[in-house]
Copies of this chain bind each other. A is one copy, B any other.
Amino acid sequence: MAGPRRPTLEDVAARAGVSRALVSIVIRDAPGASPRTRERVRRAADEIGYRPDARARLLSRGRSRLLGVVFGVQHAFHGDLVDGLYLAAERLGYDVALSAVTPRRDEERAVAGLLQDRCEALVLLGPGMPTSRLAALAAQLPVVVVARAVRHRAVDVVRTADDEGLRLAVEHLVGLGHRRIAHVDGGRAPGAAERRRGYGAAMAAHGLDPRLVPGGLTEDDGAAAARVLLAEGLPDAVTVFNDRCATGLLDVVRRAGVDVPGRLGVVGYDDSRLARLSHVALTTVAQDADRLTELAVTRAVQRLDGEPVAERELVVAPRLVARSTTAPR
């Protein structure tokens, strides 16, 4: 259990018969030690099970090279993003500190924790906080918002071209011969406004009448929207705010005996793991999680390095993934 004391540089130095500084050099793979000594020090370190203390290291280095990430623990898509963030950060020599938003832990708590940990920059996944609050944070340290549009010059944004995503969805459906296409809305959720707009524009471009149904970002919201559609009359197809919402909708309409894709086409959004499940096989608009995270981390690092950046907002193109919930009419 709790050993006597965790070994420190000093211990390794004593065992290898060298100075503390030399051990530090070896551990950091810094120049300034002969191969022989290097080997000897490394062996000594291994023997006593030395592990560098990240905190002390950061303290003395002056910088933490730590990227704070706020994510929603219940969002499948955030999981995909976190995966990408770890990868991208490592590539640039940064560490990631995760702080979760949970049902009983709000964004402010999550952010406060990261600030205490001396994160150098913040990456916020689909944050719900007001723009003014984001701006206040951005005054303290670089802030990169992912998957939500923010109109403020101090806040960097990396997001998918959500309007374009809905255009793709509508085009896809129109191409399959659908005319009456409804959109289940995301309300105030991040990205919802853009998707709504893209939907409206695409419908207009085809001379079709738009039909908006209130929705949200959870399965339950989708289920509720499904009930509305069933009660008020089914369209040919429906584009849904996100995959979670779409699966809720799917479940309810199918149980009501509606043939999908025969009678009703359904298009989701995110291409989360959910959509890819073989039995769901949801046609969806894919967000490129790896690209989004790569850009987010790169941007954060650019800000930290004081590099000038051309575009405050980076917009990644979405991609339509046709699966089994859409078919020719």
Residue numbers of A with Cβ under 8 A of B are 1-3, 6, 49, 51-56, 58-59, 64, 73-74, 76, 78-79, 82-83, 86-87, 95, 97-100, 102-105, 113, 115-118, 138-142, 154, 218-220, 223, 226, 248, 251-252, 254-255, 273-274, 277-280, 303-304, 306
**Are A83 and B104 CB-contacts (below 8 A) given A2-B304, A55-B55, A280-B251?**
yes
A-B contacts besides A6-B118, A220-B277, 5 pairs, CB < 8 Å: A1-B303, A55-B117, A82-B100, A95-B113, A251-B280
Smallest beta-carbon distance A262→chain B, Å: 12
Across-interface contacts of A141 in B (CB, < 8 A): 1-2
Across-interface contacts of A95 in B (CB, < 8 A): 113
- Bound together, the chains give a CA A278 to CA B306 distance in angstroms of 50
The one of B102, B142, B279 in contact with A83, judged by C-beta atoms closer than 8 angstroms, is B102
Across-interface contacts of A78 in B (CB, < 8 A): 73
List the B residue with the shortest CB-CB distance to A218.
B277
Across-interface contacts of A255 in B (CB, < 8 A): 254, 279
Q: Can you give 13 contacting A-B residue pairs, CB < 8 Å? A: A1-B142, A1-B303, A2-B141, A6-B118, A52-B116, A55-B59, A55-B64, A74-B76, A83-B105, A220-B277, A223-B277, A248-B279, A251-B279
List the B residue with the shortest CB-CB distance to A103.
B83
Across-interface contacts of A105 in B (CB, < 8 A): 83, 86-87
Nearest 6 pairs of A and B residues by beta carbon: A83-B102, A223-B279, A73-B79, A54-B116, A98-B98, A55-B55
- Bound together, the chains give a CA A102 to CA B73 distance in angstroms of 13
Across-interface contacts of A116 in B (CB, < 8 A): 51-54
- Bound together, the chains give a CA A118 to CA B95 distance in angstroms of 15
By the criterion CB–CB under 8 Å, are B102 and A220 in contact?
no
